[in-house]
């Protein structure tokens, strides 16, 4: 388990124990090795299911408008999600007072489609995946037919490769160390290339 996962679990436990929030929205392991799924933790005993890694693809801010307006919500937010939360608050879709933003710096989301393509895994082989492990520089995917080691930088989502704002803004608490900001001009590189 990585340090960020441990910190998220500890903060979620504290928020629930101290009755600061009714639910913590984060991620838990999915049914497939390359995927996680949203988790809605309402009990202290459930915090051990929370995880955080490069396989966490959903934007958790999208769940805020689906929850009861009076519910007090703790939400794990990366840079992109914290900006989405700010927009929801600005548009009066959610009251900021009902939110507790757990900010985490983001090093990018791994694109499972790129992993499958680079590892030569078709739909049949993808169903045979046994394990996916992420290190700082690599994603190691193990299937029943063998192991594939891929450079993490090569399998990041395209939007993450040009992200200028990986650090959360407006968080109630920041877990982990800030990561270097990107060049905002890089976000428009594909447009400039097209022009």
Look-up: residue for tokens 């994603």?
A: 139
> What would the two tokens of residue 27 be?
């991620």
> b or e along 144-159 (b: 16 or more beta carbons within 10 Å of the residue's beta carbon)?
eeeebebebeebbbee
Under DSSP, the state recorded for 84 is H
- Give the alpha-carbon dihedral of 7, 51, 107, 144, to 10 degrees: 140
Q: What is the pLDDT of residue 129?
A: 83
> Under a CB-based contact definition with an 8 Å cutoff, are residues 108 and 54 in contact?
yes
CA distance 181 to 61: 21
Q: What is the pLDDT of residue 194?
A: 82
Least Cα distance to 65 among 97, 89, 39, 38 occurs for: 89
User: Is this model's pTM higher than 0.75 or not?
Assistant: yes
Q: What is the pLDDT of residue 126?
A: 65
Q: What is the pLDDT of residue 125?
A: 65
- DSSP H helical ranges for the chain: 3-17, 79-90, 112-118, 123-126, 158-161, 189-194
Please identify every stretch of the chain with a pLDDT value under 70, giving residue numbers as ranges: 123-126, 187-188
């Amino acid at each position: 388990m990585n340090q960020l996962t441990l910190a998220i679990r500890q903060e979620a436990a504290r928020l629930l124990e101290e009755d600061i929030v009714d639910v913590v929205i984060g991620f838990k392991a999915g049914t497939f090795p390359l995927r996680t799924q949203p988790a809605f933790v309402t009990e202290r005993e459930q915090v051990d299911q929370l995880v955080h890694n490069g396989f966490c693809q959903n934007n958790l801010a999208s769940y805020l408008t689906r929850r009861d307006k009076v519910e007090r919500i703790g939400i794990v937010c990366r840079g992109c999600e914290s900006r989405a939360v700010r927009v929801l608050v600005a548009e009066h879709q959610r009251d900021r007072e009902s939110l507790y933003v757990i900010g985490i710096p983001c090093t990018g989301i791994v694109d499972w489609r790129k992993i499958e393509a680079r590892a030569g895994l078709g739909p049949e082989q993808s169903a045979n995946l046994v394990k996916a492990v992420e290190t700082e520089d690599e994603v190691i995917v193990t299937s029943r037919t063998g192991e594939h080691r891929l450079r993490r930088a090569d399998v990041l989502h395209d939007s993450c490769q040009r992200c200028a704002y990986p650090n959360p803004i407006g968080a109630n608490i920041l877990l982990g160390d800030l990561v270097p900001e990107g060049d905002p001009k890089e976000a428009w590189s594909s447009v400039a290339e097209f022009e």
